[in-house]
Chains A and B, each alone.
Chain A
Amino acid sequence: MIKNEALIFEKSVPGRRTSLLPVCDVPERDLASVIPAAFLRQQSAELPEVSEVDAVRHFTALSKMNHGVDSGFYPLGSCTMKYNPKINEDVARYSGFSRIHPYQSEKTVQGALELLYQTDRMLAEITGMARVSLQPAAGAHGEMAGLMIIKAYHQYRGDTKRQKIVVPDSSHGTNPASAAVVGFDVIEVKSNESGGVDIPSLKAVMSDEIAGLMLTNPSTLGLFEENIVEIAEIVHQAGGLLYYDGANMNAIMGKTRPGDMGFDVVHLNLHKTFSTPHGGGGPGSGPVGVKKELVPFLPAPVVERAVDKYVLDHNRPLSIGRVKSFYGNFGVVVKAFAYIRSLGAVGLREASETAVLNANYIRARLQDDYELPFGKTCMHEVVFSAQKQMKLGVSALDIAKRLIDFGYHPPTIYFPLIVKEALMIEPTETESKETLDDFIEAMRQIAREAETSPELLKEAPHDTIVKRLDEVKAVRKPILRYVKEV
């Protein structure tokens, strides 16, 4: 049974504690004798005072208020919530991986450097790139690094006029945000009727001021960009580079490669496509891969293979520099490495094929109940619109909340922005037909309920620990920390 859980601070009892540390085995000093009094804290930080069992019960109770992939179906579009194999968690915890210091001498971390090098090679093959840096900590971080590479490349060639990045109106919010962080101006191009990039609009914005185009393919509508070859030509002819947002890579592994489509820079989300768990919002890993002519600009250091050993190459004069401490989220990379080694070429292709099959199965079986803004075959995810239900006064949000009553995590809603009342469903390859059938049945029931008993949807969810939240109040009167009442 789940009850509302008090804050850990509210469970605090003065003087209660967990003893974990040994007695001091060296002479103890008076703090004031080694540190000037002006630097010393007078009043203790009010951290909780609890026993170990208090702490364990508290965080166990909190965990029970969450829905994870292991709890049930999690068709959150664009996030690729596939099952996370347990073995990957185990290997990442091997002491030879989790208990090594980033500044140990290279000869004592040859296994780690080998793993980084091999992951670089494997991801380069999967994406059709020359080299991949594993330094970026997340997708948005990879985007930032990739855009810096594009900027550095143009600047190196003396092509300093190129200060603009083009993004489609269906793009992830991180695309324009990352471009802005790197000091680019953002130009948005429209999508055409079939959800692809509108070619005339693209041609119209091309000029010698365009540094590049950022594209997700399949797009955030879950559709493959059929005109990709022409788009690449247009951008390249104008002297720009093509950036691939790898958020939707799960659709195409072993089927096609960004490099072959004409992309010059790619970022991947290891926490999506390569099955590392999301951890409630991180840690992720956002490797950035590039074509040969851009390799000198990758973040430093880069792992290189010498005759009989692996080395960290820091001497990279054209590098954009460092974007994170040390070598990236290594522990996450270990899990992705284990995943790729488990599946191999055939397994990765089958994963993408099955992800696409599962999404199309949902598309086919729900298209009579929910409006499909773009009717064609989708890739790994399908975007419906709740406009039909909206006429009955029921929104995408209401449908999402009602799904919680059936034990599902809702799909992504209100994204992409160009679809009204969007419901973006990504089932992933790991889900069974039975799960999909049950979900489809729930969605159909909800569509019926929208007609017969809309209040059921408006009041959903019904059985959760909290009901719908007052989000306006959270913004108007922000309470962002606990303060002890006196």
Chain B
Amino acid sequence: MASYISNTKEQQKAMLSEMGNDSIQELFADIPEAVRLSRDLELPPALSELELTTALRKLSQKNKNLDDTSCFLGAGAYDHFIPSAVGNLISRQEFYTAYTPYQPEISQGTLQAIFEFQSMICELTGMDIANASMYDGATALAEAVAMAASQTGRNEMLIANTVHPESREVLKTYAHYKGIAVKEIGYHNGSIDLDALAAACSDQTAAVIVQSPNFFGIIEDLGQAAELAHQHKALLIASVDPISLAILKSPGELGADIVVGDGQCLGNPISFGGPGLGFMATSKALMRKLPGRVVGQTTDVEGKRAFVLTLQTREQHIRRDKATSNICSNQALNALAATIYMTVLGKEGLKEVATLCLNKAHYLYDQLIKSGKFAPVFSAPFFKEFTVTSAGDTDVLNDALLADHIIGGYALDKSYPELKNGWLLAVTEKRTRPEMDSLVEKAVNHCD
């Protein structure tokens, strides 16, 4: 058994006697007899640190991990390269064992790093302001919808069904309890059906929600969606892949009012889907509707530049039930990882990651189509993920590939029944040409 208690029994006795108590039990006298637990909790036997490492190593080895496989699975969680500096720096205890920076004089490290994070997110998204991060991309989207409802005084949302299925599910949950109506807009050639959007958009619409690149990997026409939304004084909420923004036009330039996304891809391990981070950026006009922590620049009493949590009258600890959101924590350490990632890769490096993803994804797409065993599904431009149709069942195909230590694509018919045998493949900068050639060879053999 491990214990992290410092005081010896003798010290505890000394403390009790100084307090005028005979036993620790006396301190629990306020707990009514009827609800006291009179037995030990039924938990597995305690383990020493030595035993724990063995037990957990063994448990972890029941999982097939991405280091031992070639991963072509994306669909919202991506196997991007993480520079060594990221893990090393976020492991500094001053970062990971600190609390929310309530005392700015001894939290300038966290505060300045968040300010830099907000600045980088603004640069990529082309927006004025950003918050300190959200739980993930899906909850950031749901919070953006609440913002749009509050800003416009309307409660009808139009969301492309090319937005990640789980983001739509999370939105559905949040919206249901807030009394917000959500209508889905179908797709045409893998992109939001702009005619259907134009027909659905009205003066009741609070926001149009589009993801780009969308769940199929396709780059959406955010500019057109923004125009349609703005014609009805509705907002455009864009959910984006931050890495793609190194080469793609920023949603801010294209007219988005609120930009959200998932930042796991920025230097955070995939970790079975969490913890990662969500981000949110918007225009100055919506500043006071922003949920979550925000860091601002100010000066100290001596005029020195300093950073502090600000605009707190939006938040739950001040406004209680009138707050813009109930969110309290952010994903600070994950946002720090993202900040370090964007710093180490830098202006050119992030473009390089994006370009490598794009080139490799297009190479794999071409090879699969050339093989004759896989057919194109859409003809719209894509970034690092694409859709093909396989000749046979995709689950069976993925099972076969697993035997060769390849994690295949996402079986699209799970979320889009009309795309039978649709296979969504993601290619990050980590995948090599031999890995891709091997995938094609194995997949083609299987289909023969």
State in angstroms the CA–CA spacing of A459 and B221 once bound together: 56
A442 at the interface (CB under 8 A from B): no
Most buried by A among B164, B271, B300: B271
Indicate with 1 or 0, residue by residue over A98-139, a CB within 8 angstroms of chain B CB atoms: 111111110011111011001000100110000000000111
Known contacts A95-B65, A338-B56, A84 near B269 by CB under 8 Å:
no
**Are A326 and B18 touching (Cβ within 8 A)?**
no
Tell me the chain B residues, 34-84 only, with Cβ under 8 Å from chain A: 34-37, 40-49, 52-53, 55-57, 59-67, 71, 73, 75-77, 79, 81, 83
Given A66-B107, A329-B275, A377-B29: A52 in contact with B98 (beta carbons within 8 A): no
In angstroms, how far is the closest chain B Cβ from the Cβ of A289?
Answer: 14
Q: State A415–B56 Cα separation when bound (angstroms).
A: 40
For B65, what are the chain A residues with a Cβ–Cβ distance below 8 Å? 95-96, 99-100
Q: Is the CB of A176 within 8 A of B32?
A: no
| Known pairs A60-B92, A325-B76, A478-B296; A47 contacts B120 (CB<8 A) | yes
User: What is the CA–CA distance of A417 and B364 in the complex, to the nearest angstrom?
Assistant: 60
Residue of B nearest to A259 (CB): B35
Quick one: CB contact mask for A355-372 with B, threshold 8 Å, 1 for yes? 011101100110000000
Contact A469 B321 (CB under 8 A): no
Q: For the complex, what is the distance from the CA of A279 to the CA of B122, rounded to whole Å?
A: 23
CA distance A359 to B327 in the complex (A): 29
- Neighbouring A residues of B321 by C-beta, 8 Å: 176-177, 179-180, 186
Which among B131-139, B199-207, B228-236 touches the partner chain? B131-139
1/0 per residue B1-43: CB within 8 Å of A? 1111111000110111011110010111111101111001111
B224 to chain A, nearest CB (A): 10
Contacts of B443 in A (CB 8 A): none
Assembly CA distance A45 to B1 (angstroms)? 52
Contact B119 A482 (CB under 8 A): yes
**Structural contact, B172 and A474, CB atoms closer than 8 A:** no
B96 A321 Cβ-Cβ under 8 A: no
A45 touches B178 (CB 8 A): no
Q: B52 touching A341 by the CB < 8 A rule?
A: yes
Which residues, 278 to 310 on B, are CB-close (under 8 Å) to A? 287, 293-302, 304-306, 308, 310
**Which residue on chain A has the smallest CB distance to residue B322?**
A180
Cβ–Cβ < 8 Å partners of A346 in chain B: 1, 40, 46
Which residues of the other chain, A, contact B47 by a CB distance below 8 angstroms? 341-342, 344
Q: B327, A325: Cβ atoms under 8 Å? A: no
- Contact A111 B62, beta carbon cutoff 8 Å: yes
B316-355, CB < 8 A from A: 316-323, 325-334, 336, 340, 342-353, 355
Q: Let me know if A330 and B98 touch, CB within 8 A.
A: no
Segment at the interface with B among A13-21, A236-244, A445-453 = A13-21
Contacts of A282 in B (CB 8 A): 133, 275, 329-334
Q: Taking the nearest CB of chain B, how far is it from the CB of A331, in angstroms?
A: 4
Asked whether any CB of chain B lies closer than 8 Å to the CB of A68, the reply is yes
Q: Which of A1-42 contact B (CB under 8 A)?
A: 4-5, 7-9, 16-21, 24-29, 31, 34-36, 38-42
Contact B1 A40 (CB under 8 A): no
Verify if B170 is at the interface (C-beta below 8 Å from A): yes
Q: Is the CB of A62 within 8 A of B109?
A: yes
Counting chain A CB atoms within 10 Å of each CB, the highest count among B49, B245, B248 belongs to: B49
What CA separation (Å) do A183 and B177 show in the bound complex? 6
Q: Which residues of B contact A110 (CB under 8 A)?
A: 62-63
Contact of A20 among B271, B344, B363 (CB under 8 A): B344
B63–A109 touching, CB < 8 Å: yes
In the complex, which residue of chain B has the Cβ closest to the Cβ of A89? B91
Complex: how many Å from CA A439 to CA B67? 47
Q: Which of B37, B317, B381 contacts A254 (CB 8 A)?
A: B37
- Nearest residue, chain A, Cβ from B108: A65
In the complex, A291 has a CB within 8 A of chain B: no
A281 close to B101 (CB less than 8 A): yes
Known pairs A62-B113, A67-B107, A354-B5; A255 contacts B31 (CB<8 A): yes
B52 touches A97 (CB 8 A): no
Encoded as 1 (CB less than 8 Å from any B CB) or 0, chain A from 324 to 343 comes to: 11111111101000101111
The 20 sampled A-B contact pairs (Cβ below 8 Å) are A8-B343, A35-B383, A48-B342, A48-B343, A49-B346, A56-B88, A66-B108, A68-B95, A74-B99, A137-B139, A183-B179, A255-B36, A281-B330, A330-B273, A354-B5, A361-B19, A479-B297, A480-B128, A481-B115, A481-B129
8 more CB-based (< 8 A) A-B contacts, given A67-B106, A330-B275: A45-B245, A62-B108, A101-B73, A139-B329, A141-B327, A325-B166, A377-B29, A404-B103
Question: Which 3 residue pairs spanning A and B have beta carbons closest together?
Answer: A326-B273, A344-B46, A96-B60
